[in-house]
Amino acid sequence: MDDYRSEVDCSSLLKQGAEAKIYTGVYLGKLCIIKERFPKKYRHPALELSLSQQRTKSEVRSMLRCRTQGIQTPAVFFVNTEENKIYMEYVNDSVTVRDYIIQVQSSSDDAASSLLKPLAYKIGEKLGKMHNKNIIHGDLTTSNMLLRKPVENLDIVLIDFGLSYINSTNEDKGVDLYVLERAFLSTHPNTESLFSVLLDGYQNGYRNGVGDVVRKLNEVRLRGRKRTMVG
């Protein structure tokens, strides 16, 4: 079990998320990201361990499934299921879609719409293809999408699949899109028209009975609004 350690050179903390630490390191001579899920203090230790293991497994499974379907995710190099660590490709010459949108929006209105519309369309197309294969991401946000440089190539890499699962229903696909819509509009205010371009891209990528998913999205939106009114 210790063998893999000799293959990992130095690691340094890059980011600390809510449930995981992200380190950079070197695996078999390649720059890599090490994503380590750590136990949360407020949950029961046994439950915590089982949740971390489940999420690590889901993340790896969906990343591999996406890659075999031509949807870009980082290459998985190695998984340590005991320590809940995933060693994956470091997409180092990239920016998160979140940071890119914020950066473009702070430049000028014209630049924003001409640069961001094709990006939104491409993201939608990617997600449509992912749903076509019945992969539900579970935590779609613009921080969980990387854009490789040069950004003009619109080369999008999806990450953070810990809450993902396989499901073919329109309901789950609609909810996946709704989670993204909520995150998108709260992170990037006044981008309703951009999100509708994303949905156009989704329709093109999904093809198979797309109307049904969009109908579900509308239902979920309505439920969300009612809940907000009651609350």
Ligand X SMILES: Nc1ncnc2c1ncn2[C@@H]1O[C@H](COP(=O)(O)OP(=O)(O)OP(=O)(O)O)[C@@H](O)[C@H]1O
For the annotated catalytic residues, the residue numbers are 139
Q: Compute the 3-state secondary structure of the chain and give helix, strand, coil in percent, each to the nearest 5.
A: 55, 20, 25
Q: Which does 124 bind (CB under 5 to 8 A by kind): Mg ion, ligand X, none?
A: none
Q: Which does 173 bind (CB under 5 to 8 A by kind): ligand X, Mg ion, none?
A: none
**Binding of ligand X by 1 (CB under 6 A):** no
Write each residue from 59 to 78 as x if it is in contact with ligand X (CB under 6 A), else as -, in one continuous string: ---------------x----
What is the nearest approach in angstroms of ligand X to the Cβ of residue 109? 27
Q: What tokens were used for 131?
A: 């749903």
Q: CA-CA distance, 152 to 177, in Å (whole number)? A: 25
Q: Which does 167 bind (CB under 5 to 8 A by kind): ligand X, Mg ion, none?
A: none
Q: Which of 90, 178, 184, 202 binds ligand X (CB under 6 A)?
A: 90
Q: CA-CA distance, 181 to 168, in Å (whole number)? A: 20
The packing angle between helices 97-105 and 109-132, to 10°, is 160
For residue 34, which of 68, 101, 84, 73 has the smallest C-alpha distance?
84
Write each residue from 141 to 180 as x if it is in contact with ligand X (CB under 6 A), else as -, in one continuous string: --xx-x------------xx--------------------
Beta-ladder partners of 78: 87
For residue 13, which of 27, 30, 34 has the smallest C-alpha distance?
34
Q: Which of 9, 13, 17, 50 binds ligand X (CB under 6 A)?
A: 17
By the criterion CB under 5 A, which residues form the site for Mg ion?
144, 160
Length reported for the chain: 231
176 or 213: CB nearest ligand X: 176
Residue nearest to Mg ion (CB): 160
Q: Which does 171 bind (CB under 5 to 8 A by kind): ligand X, Mg ion, none?
A: none
Judging by beta carbons within 10 Å of its beta carbon (0-12, 13-18, 19+), is residue 34 exposed, middle or buried?
Answer: buried
- Give contact residues for ligand X (rule: CB under 6 A): 15, 17-20, 22, 33, 35, 74, 88-91, 96, 143-144, 146, 159-160
